[in-house]
Structure 1
Amino acid sequence: MGKNRASVRAVGVGISVVLLVAGAAACTSDDKNDTKDAAKAPATSGAPGAPVATPSAAPTSKGPEAFAAAGYRGLKPGMAKDDGLATGALETAPVSLLGGCTDFVYKGGPAPDQARMTAEAATEARYKDLSAKADAASGKAPAPGGTLPPNASAKDAAAAAAGSAAAAKGSADAAKAIADSTMALVDLRFAQEAKDKAYLATGRVSFAATGLRELAAPAEAKTAEGVGAGSTVEALQQAYGAKGLQLAKSGKYVMPVEGQQGWQYEFTVDGDKVAGMAVVNREIKCA
Protein backbone atom coordinates (compact mmCIF):
# COMPACT_ATOMS: atom_id res chain seq x y z
CA MET A 1 0.00 0.00 0.00
CA GLY A 2 2.87 2.37 0.87
CA LYS A 3 4.54 1.59 -2.42
CA ASN A 4 1.40 2.45 -4.38
CA ARG A 5 1.12 5.86 -2.68
CA ALA A 6 4.76 6.60 -3.44
CA SER A 7 4.14 5.74 -7.08
CA VAL A 8 1.12 8.05 -7.26
CA ARG A 9 3.12 10.94 -5.76
CA ALA A 10 5.92 10.37 -8.24
CA VAL A 11 3.51 10.45 -11.14
CA GLY A 12 1.91 13.67 -9.80
CA VAL A 13 5.30 15.36 -9.50
CA GLY A 14 6.17 14.26 -13.04
CA ILE A 15 2.95 15.68 -14.43
CA SER A 16 3.54 18.99 -12.60
CA VAL A 17 7.05 19.26 -14.07
CA VAL A 18 5.73 18.57 -17.56
CA LEU A 19 3.03 21.22 -17.15
CA LEU A 20 5.54 23.80 -15.89
CA VAL A 21 7.90 23.17 -18.81
CA ALA A 22 5.02 23.38 -21.31
CA GLY A 23 3.81 26.62 -19.72
CA ALA A 24 7.27 28.15 -19.85
CA ALA A 25 7.64 27.19 -23.50
CA ALA A 26 4.26 28.72 -24.31
CA CYS A 27 5.20 31.96 -22.57
CA THR A 28 8.50 32.08 -24.40
CA SER A 29 6.70 31.54 -27.70
CA ASP A 30 4.13 34.23 -26.87
CA ASP A 31 6.88 36.66 -25.91
CA LYS A 32 8.63 36.06 -29.22
CA ASN A 33 5.38 36.51 -31.13
CA ASP A 34 4.62 39.69 -29.18
CA THR A 35 8.08 41.01 -29.98
CA LYS A 36 7.62 40.27 -33.68
CA ASP A 37 4.17 41.82 -33.68
CA ALA A 38 5.47 44.88 -31.88
CA ALA A 39 8.24 45.24 -34.45
CA LYS A 40 5.69 45.07 -37.27
CA ALA A 41 3.13 47.40 -35.68
CA PRO A 42 3.56 51.18 -36.09
CA ALA A 43 4.81 52.92 -32.98
CA THR A 44 2.25 55.03 -31.20
CA SER A 45 2.51 57.65 -28.53
CA GLY A 46 0.94 56.73 -25.24
CA ALA A 47 1.96 56.38 -21.64
CA PRO A 48 5.29 57.78 -20.44
CA GLY A 49 8.10 55.62 -21.66
CA ALA A 50 6.12 54.27 -24.61
CA PRO A 51 7.75 54.70 -28.03
CA VAL A 52 6.75 57.93 -29.88
CA ALA A 53 5.13 57.59 -33.30
CA THR A 54 6.96 58.85 -36.37
CA PRO A 55 4.23 60.54 -38.47
CA SER A 56 4.16 60.07 -42.19
CA ALA A 57 5.27 63.13 -44.17
CA ALA A 58 2.33 65.54 -44.39
CA PRO A 59 1.70 67.28 -47.72
CA THR A 60 3.68 70.52 -47.90
CA SER A 61 1.35 73.52 -48.25
CA LYS A 62 2.11 75.97 -51.02
CA GLY A 63 3.67 79.30 -50.08
CA PRO A 64 2.29 82.71 -51.03
CA GLU A 65 1.53 83.21 -54.71
CA ALA A 66 4.37 84.84 -56.61
CA PHE A 67 3.67 88.12 -58.37
CA ALA A 68 4.30 87.51 -62.08
CA ALA A 69 3.65 89.00 -65.49
CA ALA A 70 1.52 85.98 -66.37
CA GLY A 71 -1.02 87.01 -63.74
CA TYR A 72 -1.75 87.41 -60.05
CA ARG A 73 -4.78 86.30 -57.99
CA GLY A 74 -6.54 85.16 -61.15
CA LEU A 75 -6.05 88.52 -62.88
CA LYS A 76 -4.18 88.47 -66.18
CA PRO A 77 -2.86 91.12 -68.59
CA GLY A 78 -5.45 91.99 -71.25
CA MET A 79 -8.33 90.49 -69.25
CA ALA A 80 -11.67 92.29 -69.71
CA LYS A 81 -12.90 94.38 -66.78
CA ASP A 82 -16.01 92.25 -66.22
CA ASP A 83 -13.92 89.09 -66.22
CA GLY A 84 -11.53 90.65 -63.74
CA LEU A 85 -14.36 91.56 -61.37
CA ALA A 86 -15.80 88.06 -61.75
CA THR A 87 -12.65 86.57 -60.18
CA GLY A 88 -13.66 88.00 -56.81
CA ALA A 89 -10.13 89.30 -56.29
CA LEU A 90 -11.17 92.96 -56.51
CA GLU A 91 -13.43 95.38 -54.71
CA THR A 92 -16.23 96.29 -57.09
CA ALA A 93 -16.26 100.08 -56.53
CA PRO A 94 -13.71 101.97 -58.69
CA VAL A 95 -11.12 104.06 -56.85
CA SER A 96 -10.18 106.16 -59.89
CA LEU A 97 -11.48 107.01 -63.36
CA LEU A 98 -8.58 109.28 -64.23
CA GLY A 99 -7.45 109.37 -67.84
CA GLY A 100 -10.26 107.14 -69.02
CA CYS A 101 -9.02 104.01 -67.21
CA THR A 102 -10.97 102.37 -64.38
CA ASP A 103 -8.92 101.39 -61.34
CA PHE A 104 -9.86 98.91 -58.61
CA VAL A 105 -8.12 97.75 -55.44
CA TYR A 106 -7.75 94.16 -54.27
CA LYS A 107 -10.33 92.61 -51.95
CA GLY A 108 -10.09 94.19 -48.51
CA GLY A 109 -8.40 97.31 -49.87
CA PRO A 110 -9.32 100.91 -49.02
CA ALA A 111 -12.68 102.40 -49.95
CA PRO A 112 -12.80 104.95 -52.77
CA ASP A 113 -11.61 108.43 -51.78
CA GLN A 114 -14.46 110.53 -53.17
CA ALA A 115 -12.68 113.83 -52.53
CA ARG A 116 -9.67 112.77 -54.56
CA MET A 117 -11.85 111.34 -57.33
CA THR A 118 -13.75 114.64 -57.56
CA ALA A 119 -10.47 116.58 -57.75
CA GLU A 120 -9.17 114.19 -60.42
CA ALA A 121 -12.30 114.71 -62.51
CA ALA A 122 -11.96 118.53 -62.23
CA THR A 123 -8.28 118.42 -63.21
CA GLU A 124 -9.01 116.24 -66.22
CA ALA A 125 -11.95 118.39 -67.35
CA ARG A 126 -9.81 121.55 -67.15
CA TYR A 127 -7.09 119.95 -69.23
CA LYS A 128 -9.55 118.87 -71.92
CA ASP A 129 -11.09 122.35 -72.06
CA LEU A 130 -7.77 124.20 -72.33
CA SER A 131 -6.42 121.68 -74.83
CA ALA A 132 -9.42 122.28 -77.08
CA LYS A 133 -8.94 126.05 -76.81
CA ALA A 134 -5.26 125.73 -77.69
CA ASP A 135 -6.12 123.68 -80.78
CA ALA A 136 -8.73 126.25 -81.83
CA ALA A 137 -6.43 129.24 -81.26
CA SER A 138 -3.63 127.64 -83.23
CA GLY A 139 -5.94 127.00 -86.17
CA LYS A 140 -7.51 130.47 -86.19
CA ALA A 141 -4.35 132.55 -85.87
CA PRO A 142 -4.06 134.75 -89.03
CA ALA A 143 -0.94 134.55 -91.15
CA PRO A 144 1.62 137.37 -90.68
CA GLY A 145 1.44 140.24 -93.23
CA GLY A 146 3.73 140.02 -96.24
CA THR A 147 6.49 142.40 -97.23
CA LEU A 148 5.20 145.56 -98.96
CA PRO A 149 6.39 146.25 -102.51
CA PRO A 150 8.49 149.43 -103.02
CA ASN A 151 5.64 151.26 -104.80
CA ALA A 152 2.98 150.41 -102.17
CA SER A 153 0.55 153.17 -101.29
CA ALA A 154 -0.09 154.48 -97.82
CA LYS A 155 -3.40 152.67 -97.87
CA ASP A 156 -1.62 149.39 -98.64
CA ALA A 157 0.89 150.05 -95.87
CA ALA A 158 -1.89 150.73 -93.38
CA ALA A 159 -3.67 147.52 -94.35
CA ALA A 160 -0.45 145.53 -94.01
CA ALA A 161 0.21 147.04 -90.60
CA ALA A 162 -3.28 146.15 -89.43
CA GLY A 163 -2.80 142.60 -90.69
CA SER A 164 0.51 142.25 -88.88
CA ALA A 165 -1.01 143.51 -85.64
CA ALA A 166 -3.88 141.06 -85.94
CA ALA A 167 -1.44 138.25 -86.66
CA ALA A 168 0.67 139.19 -83.67
CA LYS A 169 -2.39 139.27 -81.41
CA GLY A 170 -3.58 135.96 -82.80
CA SER A 171 -0.16 134.41 -82.27
CA ALA A 172 -0.06 135.74 -78.71
CA ASP A 173 -3.53 134.31 -77.95
CA ALA A 174 -2.49 130.97 -79.43
CA ALA A 175 0.75 130.98 -77.46
CA LYS A 176 -1.12 131.69 -74.22
CA ALA A 177 -3.69 128.97 -74.95
CA ILE A 178 -0.92 126.46 -75.62
CA ALA A 179 0.89 127.48 -72.42
CA ASP A 180 -2.32 127.11 -70.37
CA SER A 181 -2.96 123.69 -71.92
CA THR A 182 0.59 122.59 -71.12
CA MET A 183 0.26 123.62 -67.47
CA ALA A 184 -3.05 121.76 -67.25
CA LEU A 185 -1.30 118.67 -68.61
CA VAL A 186 1.36 119.02 -65.90
CA ASP A 187 -1.40 119.16 -63.27
CA LEU A 188 -2.93 116.03 -64.78
CA ARG A 189 0.40 114.19 -64.55
CA PHE A 190 0.74 115.22 -60.90
CA ALA A 191 -2.76 113.87 -60.22
CA GLN A 192 -1.81 110.55 -61.84
CA GLU A 193 1.37 110.31 -59.78
CA ALA A 194 -0.57 111.12 -56.59
CA LYS A 195 -3.04 108.33 -57.39
CA ASP A 196 -0.24 105.85 -58.00
CA LYS A 197 1.42 106.80 -54.71
CA ALA A 198 -1.85 106.55 -52.77
CA TYR A 199 -2.26 102.89 -53.76
CA LEU A 200 1.42 101.92 -53.75
CA ALA A 201 1.04 99.88 -50.55
CA THR A 202 -2.36 98.35 -51.26
CA GLY A 203 -1.88 97.66 -54.95
CA ARG A 204 -4.43 98.31 -57.69
CA VAL A 205 -5.54 97.02 -61.07
CA SER A 206 -6.17 99.36 -63.99
CA PHE A 207 -8.46 98.53 -66.92
CA ALA A 208 -8.54 100.32 -70.26
CA ALA A 209 -11.42 99.88 -72.70
CA THR A 210 -9.50 97.00 -74.31
CA GLY A 211 -8.65 95.19 -71.08
CA LEU A 212 -6.30 95.08 -68.12
CA ARG A 213 -3.29 97.33 -68.77
CA GLU A 214 -1.66 97.58 -65.33
CA LEU A 215 -1.31 95.13 -62.47
CA ALA A 216 0.21 96.87 -59.44
CA ALA A 217 1.23 94.53 -56.63
CA PRO A 218 0.18 94.92 -52.98
CA ALA A 219 3.00 95.51 -50.49
CA GLU A 220 3.16 91.89 -49.30
CA ALA A 221 3.63 90.44 -52.79
CA LYS A 222 6.98 89.02 -53.93
CA THR A 223 8.24 87.80 -57.26
CA ALA A 224 9.49 84.23 -57.68
CA GLU A 225 12.98 85.61 -57.01
CA GLY A 226 11.83 87.08 -53.70
CA VAL A 227 11.82 90.72 -54.79
CA GLY A 228 9.13 93.06 -53.53
CA ALA A 229 8.45 96.11 -51.40
CA GLY A 230 11.29 96.44 -48.90
CA SER A 231 13.87 94.67 -51.06
CA THR A 232 17.10 96.57 -51.59
CA VAL A 233 17.98 98.03 -54.97
CA GLU A 234 21.10 95.86 -54.81
CA ALA A 235 18.94 92.73 -54.48
CA LEU A 236 16.77 93.96 -57.36
CA GLN A 237 19.80 94.41 -59.59
CA GLN A 238 21.23 91.03 -58.62
CA ALA A 239 17.95 89.32 -59.46
CA TYR A 240 17.27 91.04 -62.78
CA GLY A 241 20.42 92.83 -63.89
CA ALA A 242 21.10 90.13 -66.46
CA LYS A 243 17.50 90.13 -67.69
CA GLY A 244 17.37 93.66 -69.08
CA LEU A 245 16.70 95.70 -65.93
CA GLN A 246 17.33 99.42 -66.57
CA LEU A 247 16.85 102.71 -64.74
CA ALA A 248 14.32 104.79 -66.71
CA LYS A 249 14.01 108.59 -66.88
CA SER A 250 10.98 108.32 -64.63
CA GLY A 251 13.24 107.12 -61.82
CA LYS A 252 11.74 103.63 -61.91
CA TYR A 253 13.62 100.46 -62.76
CA VAL A 254 12.01 98.78 -65.76
CA MET A 255 12.45 95.38 -67.35
CA PRO A 256 10.73 93.96 -70.45
CA VAL A 257 8.47 90.94 -70.03
CA GLU A 258 9.82 88.13 -72.14
CA GLY A 259 7.38 87.00 -74.81
CA GLN A 260 4.82 89.76 -74.10
CA GLN A 261 5.29 92.65 -76.52
CA GLY A 262 4.83 96.05 -74.90
CA TRP A 263 4.61 94.72 -71.34
CA GLN A 264 7.22 95.52 -68.73
CA TYR A 265 7.92 95.27 -65.04
CA GLU A 266 8.20 98.60 -63.24
CA PHE A 267 9.88 98.85 -59.83
CA THR A 268 9.30 102.09 -57.91
CA VAL A 269 12.18 102.84 -55.56
CA ASP A 270 12.53 105.07 -52.54
CA GLY A 271 16.17 105.64 -51.65
CA ASP A 272 17.88 102.25 -51.73
CA LYS A 273 14.68 100.21 -51.27
CA VAL A 274 11.94 98.95 -53.58
CA ALA A 275 8.68 100.72 -52.67
CA GLY A 276 6.34 99.04 -55.17
CA MET A 277 6.15 97.05 -58.38
CA ALA A 278 3.80 96.59 -61.28
CA VAL A 279 3.37 94.90 -64.64
CA VAL A 280 2.11 97.40 -67.21
CA ASN A 281 1.70 98.02 -70.94
CA ARG A 282 1.88 101.78 -71.49
CA GLU A 283 1.24 101.34 -75.19
CA ILE A 284 -2.38 100.58 -74.26
CA LYS A 285 -4.21 103.89 -74.00
CA CYS A 286 -6.92 104.37 -71.42
CA ALA A 287 -9.21 106.22 -73.81
Structure 2
Amino acid sequence: MGKTRRSMRAVGVGVSVALLAVGAAACSAGSSDEGKDGTAKAQAATGAPTAVPTAAPTPKGPEAFAAAGYRGLKPGMAKDAGLATGALEQPPVSLLDGCTDFVYKGGPAPDQARMAAEAATEARYKDLSAKADAASGKAPAPEGTLPPNASAKDAAAAAAGSAAKAKDSAAAAKLIADSTMALVDLRVAQEAKEAAYLATGRVSFAAAGLRELVAPAEARTAEGIGAGSTLEALQQAYGAKGLQQAKSGKYAMPVEGQQGWQYEFTVDGAKVAGMAVVNRDIKCA
Protein backbone atom coordinates (compact mmCIF):
# COMPACT_ATOMS: atom_id res chain seq x y z
CA MET A 1 0.00 0.00 0.00
CA GLY A 2 2.81 2.43 0.91
CA LYS A 3 4.51 1.84 -2.42
CA THR A 4 1.28 2.40 -4.34
CA ARG A 5 0.64 5.75 -2.57
CA ARG A 6 4.18 6.94 -3.27
CA SER A 7 3.80 6.04 -6.97
CA MET A 8 0.54 7.92 -7.21
CA ARG A 9 2.07 11.00 -5.56
CA ALA A 10 4.98 10.89 -8.08
CA VAL A 11 2.58 10.67 -11.00
CA GLY A 12 0.58 13.59 -9.58
CA VAL A 13 3.66 15.76 -9.30
CA GLY A 14 4.65 14.95 -12.92
CA VAL A 15 1.17 15.82 -14.20
CA SER A 16 1.23 19.10 -12.27
CA VAL A 17 4.60 20.05 -13.76
CA ALA A 18 3.38 19.20 -17.25
CA LEU A 19 0.25 21.27 -16.80
CA LEU A 20 2.26 24.23 -15.57
CA ALA A 21 4.56 24.02 -18.63
CA VAL A 22 1.60 23.87 -21.01
CA GLY A 23 0.00 26.84 -19.27
CA ALA A 24 3.17 28.89 -19.51
CA ALA A 25 3.52 28.12 -23.23
CA ALA A 26 -0.10 29.09 -23.82
CA CYS A 27 0.38 32.39 -21.98
CA SER A 28 3.51 33.14 -23.96
CA ALA A 29 1.78 32.41 -27.26
CA GLY A 30 -1.18 34.49 -26.20
CA SER A 31 1.03 37.42 -25.29
CA SER A 32 2.85 37.17 -28.64
CA ASP A 33 -0.39 36.99 -30.60
CA GLU A 34 -1.78 39.84 -28.55
CA GLY A 35 1.34 41.93 -29.35
CA LYS A 36 0.99 41.24 -33.05
CA ASP A 37 -2.69 41.94 -32.84
CA GLY A 38 -1.98 45.20 -31.03
CA THR A 39 0.58 46.30 -33.61
CA ALA A 40 -1.78 45.45 -36.45
CA LYS A 41 -4.61 47.34 -34.74
CA ALA A 42 -2.36 50.36 -34.15
CA GLN A 43 -1.30 50.37 -37.83
CA ALA A 44 -4.90 50.04 -38.91
CA ALA A 45 -5.87 52.94 -36.65
CA THR A 46 -3.11 55.31 -37.79
CA GLY A 47 -2.83 54.18 -41.41
CA ALA A 48 0.96 54.03 -41.03
CA PRO A 49 2.62 51.28 -43.10
CA THR A 50 5.02 48.83 -41.60
CA ALA A 51 8.53 50.28 -41.72
CA VAL A 52 10.72 48.45 -44.24
CA PRO A 53 14.46 49.12 -44.04
CA THR A 54 15.79 50.60 -47.30
CA ALA A 55 19.30 51.24 -48.58
CA ALA A 56 20.53 54.82 -48.16
CA PRO A 57 20.54 56.78 -51.49
CA THR A 58 23.92 57.15 -53.13
CA PRO A 59 24.87 60.86 -53.12
CA LYS A 60 25.67 62.31 -56.56
CA GLY A 61 28.94 64.16 -57.05
CA PRO A 62 29.23 67.50 -58.86
CA GLU A 63 28.62 67.49 -62.62
CA ALA A 64 31.76 66.87 -64.66
CA PHE A 65 32.80 69.48 -67.23
CA ALA A 66 32.73 67.67 -70.57
CA ALA A 67 32.66 68.26 -74.31
CA ALA A 68 29.23 66.62 -74.46
CA GLY A 69 27.82 69.53 -72.47
CA TYR A 70 27.72 71.30 -69.13
CA ARG A 71 24.73 72.52 -67.10
CA GLY A 72 22.39 71.62 -69.94
CA LEU A 73 24.42 73.60 -72.50
CA LYS A 74 25.66 71.63 -75.50
CA PRO A 75 28.07 72.42 -78.38
CA GLY A 76 26.26 73.83 -81.39
CA MET A 77 23.11 74.67 -79.38
CA ALA A 78 21.20 77.74 -80.61
CA LYS A 79 21.39 80.84 -78.43
CA ASP A 80 17.67 80.86 -77.62
CA ALA A 81 17.80 77.20 -76.61
CA GLY A 82 20.81 77.93 -74.41
CA LEU A 83 19.01 80.76 -72.64
CA ALA A 84 15.94 78.55 -72.19
CA THR A 85 17.97 76.14 -70.03
CA GLY A 86 18.04 78.72 -67.24
CA ALA A 87 21.77 78.11 -66.76
CA LEU A 88 22.79 81.60 -67.93
CA GLU A 89 22.33 85.18 -66.84
CA GLN A 90 20.29 86.93 -69.52
CA PRO A 91 22.18 90.19 -70.24
CA PRO A 92 25.19 89.47 -72.48
CA VAL A 93 28.60 90.40 -71.11
CA SER A 94 30.30 90.82 -74.49
CA LEU A 95 29.38 91.31 -78.16
CA LEU A 96 32.96 91.37 -79.40
CA ASP A 97 33.63 90.01 -82.92
CA GLY A 98 29.94 89.41 -83.50
CA CYS A 99 29.64 86.66 -80.89
CA THR A 100 27.29 86.99 -77.92
CA ASP A 101 28.77 85.94 -74.58
CA PHE A 102 26.89 85.13 -71.37
CA VAL A 103 27.95 84.08 -67.87
CA TYR A 104 26.49 81.29 -65.76
CA LYS A 105 23.78 81.97 -63.19
CA GLY A 106 25.23 83.93 -60.28
CA GLY A 107 28.07 85.29 -62.44
CA PRO A 108 29.16 88.94 -62.62
CA ALA A 109 26.97 91.65 -64.15
CA PRO A 110 27.99 93.08 -67.53
CA ASP A 111 30.84 95.59 -67.40
CA GLN A 112 29.33 98.39 -69.49
CA ALA A 113 32.58 100.39 -69.66
CA ARG A 114 34.54 97.42 -70.98
CA MET A 115 31.80 96.56 -73.48
CA ALA A 116 31.80 100.16 -74.78
CA ALA A 117 35.60 100.03 -75.17
CA GLU A 118 35.31 96.72 -77.03
CA ALA A 119 32.75 98.19 -79.42
CA ALA A 120 34.92 101.26 -80.10
CA THR A 121 38.04 99.16 -80.71
CA GLU A 122 36.19 96.86 -83.09
CA ALA A 123 34.60 99.75 -85.00
CA ARG A 124 37.97 101.46 -85.45
CA TYR A 125 39.56 98.27 -86.76
CA LYS A 126 36.76 97.68 -89.29
CA ASP A 127 36.94 101.28 -90.51
CA LEU A 128 40.73 101.32 -90.96
CA SER A 129 40.75 97.85 -92.47
CA ALA A 130 38.20 98.85 -95.13
CA LYS A 131 40.17 102.03 -95.96
CA ALA A 132 43.46 100.12 -96.16
CA ASP A 133 41.92 97.56 -98.50
CA ALA A 134 40.58 100.34 -100.73
CA ALA A 135 43.91 102.18 -100.76
CA SER A 136 45.81 98.99 -101.56
CA GLY A 137 43.61 98.46 -104.60
CA LYS A 138 44.48 101.96 -105.86
CA ALA A 139 48.20 101.72 -105.20
CA PRO A 140 50.10 103.02 -108.27
CA ALA A 141 52.19 100.71 -110.38
CA PRO A 142 55.95 101.43 -110.46
CA GLU A 143 56.97 104.08 -113.07
CA GLY A 144 58.91 102.98 -116.10
CA THR A 145 62.11 104.77 -117.12
CA LEU A 146 61.89 107.81 -119.44
CA PRO A 147 62.93 107.23 -123.05
CA PRO A 148 66.39 108.56 -124.02
CA ASN A 149 64.94 111.32 -126.21
CA ALA A 150 62.54 112.67 -123.54
CA SER A 151 62.45 116.43 -123.17
CA ALA A 152 63.00 118.36 -119.98
CA LYS A 153 59.29 119.12 -119.96
CA ASP A 154 58.49 115.40 -120.19
CA ALA A 155 60.95 114.65 -117.42
CA ALA A 156 59.41 117.35 -115.20
CA ALA A 157 55.91 116.01 -115.80
CA ALA A 158 57.05 112.48 -115.03
CA ALA A 159 58.73 113.65 -111.84
CA ALA A 160 55.57 115.43 -110.71
CA GLY A 161 53.50 112.33 -111.43
CA SER A 162 55.90 110.12 -109.52
CA ALA A 163 55.79 112.45 -106.51
CA ALA A 164 51.97 112.39 -106.46
CA LYS A 165 51.90 108.61 -106.73
CA ALA A 166 54.51 108.33 -104.02
CA LYS A 167 52.32 110.49 -101.81
CA ASP A 168 49.36 108.20 -102.52
CA SER A 169 51.53 105.18 -101.77
CA ALA A 170 52.64 106.70 -98.49
CA ALA A 171 49.02 107.37 -97.52
CA ALA A 172 48.12 103.78 -98.38
CA ALA A 173 51.09 102.49 -96.41
CA LYS A 174 50.02 104.54 -93.39
CA LEU A 175 46.47 103.19 -93.59
CA ILE A 176 47.79 99.64 -93.72
CA ALA A 177 50.02 100.31 -90.70
CA ASP A 178 47.14 101.90 -88.77
CA SER A 179 44.88 98.97 -89.65
CA THR A 180 47.49 96.55 -88.38
CA MET A 181 47.80 98.40 -85.08
CA ALA A 182 44.00 98.44 -84.77
CA LEU A 183 44.03 94.67 -85.21
CA VAL A 184 46.57 94.41 -82.39
CA ASP A 185 44.25 96.48 -80.18
CA LEU A 186 41.37 94.16 -81.09
CA ARG A 187 43.40 91.09 -80.10
CA VAL A 188 44.28 92.77 -76.79
CA ALA A 189 40.56 93.37 -76.17
CA GLN A 190 39.81 89.72 -76.93
CA GLU A 191 42.47 88.53 -74.49
CA ALA A 192 41.19 90.95 -71.83
CA LYS A 193 37.69 89.51 -72.20
CA GLU A 194 39.01 85.96 -71.83
CA ALA A 195 40.97 86.93 -68.71
CA ALA A 196 37.97 88.71 -67.18
CA TYR A 197 35.82 85.55 -67.26
CA LEU A 198 38.47 82.88 -66.83
CA ALA A 199 37.44 82.23 -63.22
CA THR A 200 33.68 82.76 -63.51
CA GLY A 201 33.28 80.99 -66.83
CA ARG A 202 31.31 82.13 -69.88
CA VAL A 203 29.44 80.73 -72.86
CA SER A 204 29.90 82.16 -76.37
CA PHE A 205 27.33 81.90 -79.17
CA ALA A 206 27.97 82.54 -82.86
CA ALA A 207 25.21 82.77 -85.48
CA ALA A 208 25.69 79.02 -86.08
CA GLY A 209 25.26 78.17 -82.38
CA LEU A 210 27.27 77.63 -79.22
CA ARG A 211 30.97 77.70 -80.12
CA GLU A 212 32.71 77.95 -76.72
CA LEU A 213 32.08 76.69 -73.19
CA VAL A 214 34.46 78.19 -70.63
CA ALA A 215 34.34 76.34 -67.30
CA PRO A 216 33.90 78.16 -63.97
CA ALA A 217 36.77 77.77 -61.50
CA GLU A 218 35.02 75.09 -59.43
CA ALA A 219 34.39 72.79 -62.41
CA ARG A 220 36.34 69.56 -62.88
CA THR A 221 36.58 67.08 -65.72
CA ALA A 222 35.79 63.40 -65.15
CA GLU A 223 39.53 62.91 -64.58
CA GLY A 224 39.53 65.58 -61.84
CA ILE A 225 41.31 68.30 -63.83
CA GLY A 226 40.36 71.93 -63.30
CA ALA A 227 41.63 75.29 -62.08
CA GLY A 228 44.47 74.69 -59.64
CA SER A 229 45.49 71.32 -61.08
CA THR A 230 49.21 70.99 -61.71
CA LEU A 231 50.67 70.86 -65.20
CA GLU A 232 52.04 67.45 -64.30
CA ALA A 233 48.53 66.19 -63.44
CA LEU A 234 47.19 67.64 -66.69
CA GLN A 235 49.83 65.84 -68.73
CA GLN A 236 49.31 62.59 -66.87
CA ALA A 237 45.55 62.75 -67.48
CA TYR A 238 45.64 63.66 -71.16
CA GLY A 239 49.17 63.20 -72.47
CA ALA A 240 48.21 59.92 -74.14
CA LYS A 241 45.03 61.47 -75.62
CA GLY A 242 46.71 64.04 -77.87
CA LEU A 243 47.36 66.90 -75.43
CA GLN A 244 49.83 69.39 -76.96
CA GLN A 245 50.89 72.95 -76.34
CA ALA A 246 49.54 75.31 -79.02
CA LYS A 247 51.15 78.47 -80.41
CA SER A 248 48.87 80.50 -78.14
CA GLY A 249 50.58 78.91 -75.12
CA LYS A 250 47.44 76.98 -74.16
CA TYR A 251 47.38 73.21 -73.99
CA ALA A 252 44.89 71.76 -76.48
CA MET A 253 43.44 68.29 -77.02
CA PRO A 254 40.98 67.21 -79.74
CA VAL A 255 37.54 66.00 -78.68
CA GLU A 256 37.05 62.44 -79.84
CA GLY A 257 34.15 62.09 -82.25
CA GLN A 258 33.45 65.85 -82.48
CA GLN A 259 35.10 67.30 -85.57
CA GLY A 260 36.67 70.71 -84.98
CA TRP A 261 36.08 70.72 -81.23
CA GLN A 262 38.90 70.72 -78.71
CA TYR A 263 39.65 71.13 -75.03
CA GLU A 264 41.82 74.12 -74.21
CA PHE A 265 43.65 74.50 -70.89
CA THR A 266 45.09 77.88 -69.90
CA VAL A 267 48.19 77.32 -67.79
CA ASP A 268 49.75 79.95 -65.55
CA GLY A 269 53.15 78.90 -64.28
CA ALA A 270 52.85 75.22 -63.46
CA LYS A 271 49.10 75.18 -62.76
CA VAL A 272 45.88 75.14 -64.76
CA ALA A 273 44.18 78.55 -64.57
CA GLY A 274 41.13 77.75 -66.71
CA MET A 275 39.70 75.38 -69.29
CA ALA A 276 37.24 75.45 -72.16
CA VAL A 277 35.66 73.40 -74.92
CA VAL A 278 35.72 75.35 -78.19
CA ASN A 279 35.40 75.08 -81.96
CA ARG A 280 37.63 77.74 -83.52
CA ASP A 281 36.33 76.85 -86.99
CA ILE A 282 32.96 78.40 -86.09
CA LYS A 283 33.36 82.11 -86.77
CA CYS A 284 31.49 84.71 -84.79
CA ALA A 285 30.52 86.75 -87.84
Task: Tell me which residue corresponds to 2:21.
Answer: 24
Task: Tell me which residue corresponds to 1:197.
Answer: 195
**Deviation sequence 1:128-174 (CA, Å, 0-9, x none):** 11111211221222223211111111122112212211221111111
Q: Does 2:59 align with 1:57?
A: no
Residue 283 of structure 1 aligns to a residue whose secondary structure is: coil
Q: How does 1:36-115 map to 2 (within 5 A)?
A: 56-115=54-113
Consecutive unaligned residues of structure 1, counting only runs of 5 or more, are 1-6, 35-53
Provide the rounded CA distance (Å) in 2 between the counterparts of 1:236 and 1:25. 78
Contact 1:145 1:161 in 2 (8 A): no
Ranges of 4+ aligned residues in structure 1 off by more than 3 Å: 16-21, 24-31
Task: Tell me which residue corresponds to 2:36.
Answer: none
Residue 221 of structure 1 aligns to a residue whose secondary structure is: coil
Q: 1:234 aligns with which of 232, 235, 253?
A: 232
Give 1:56 shift.
4.1
Task: Tell me which residue corresponds to 2:250.
Answer: 252
Residue 96 of structure 1 aligns to a residue whose secondary structure is: coil
Give 1:55 shift.
5.8
C-alpha RMSD over aligned residues: 2.5
- TM normalised by structure 2 equals 0.84
Residue 276 of structure 1 aligns to a residue whose secondary structure is: strand
Q: 2:157 aligns with which of 156, 159, 184?
A: 159
Aligned residues between the structures: 259
Provide the rounded CA distance (Å) in 2 between the counterparts of 1:210 and 1:163. 50
Q: Does 2:123 align with 1:125?
A: yes
Task: Tell me which residue corresponds to 1:173.
Answer: 171
Provide the rounded CA distance (Å) in 2 between the counterparts of 1:163 and 1:82. 58
Give 1:21 shift.
3.6
Contact 1:145 1:167 in 2 (8 A): no
Q: 2:269 aligns with which of 262, 271, 276?
A: 271
Residue 258 of structure 2 aligns to a residue whose secondary structure is: coil
Contact 1:219 1:229 in 2 (8 A): yes
- TM normalised by structure 1 equals 0.84
Q: 1:89 to 1:153 in 2, by over 3 A?
A: same
Q: 1:26 to 1:109 in 2, by over 3 A?
A: farther
1:228 is matched by which residue type in structure 2? G
Provide the rounded CA distance (Å) in 1 between the counterparts of 2:89 and 2:260. 27
2:131 is matched by which residue type in structure 1? K
Provide the rounded CA distance (Å) in 2 between the counterparts of 1:28 and 1:251. 87
Q: Does 2:218 align with 1:220?
A: yes
Give 1:28 shift.
6.0
Consecutive unaligned residues of structure 2, counting only runs of 5 or more, are 33-51
Question: Percent identity among equivalent residues?
Answer: 83
**Deviation sequence 1:68-106 (CA, Å, 0-9, x none):** 111111111111000000111111110000010000001
Residue 165 of structure 1 aligns to a residue whose secondary structure is: helix
Provide the rounded CA distance (Å) in 2 between the counterparts of 1:249 and 1:163. 46
Moved more, 56-65 or 274-283: 56-65
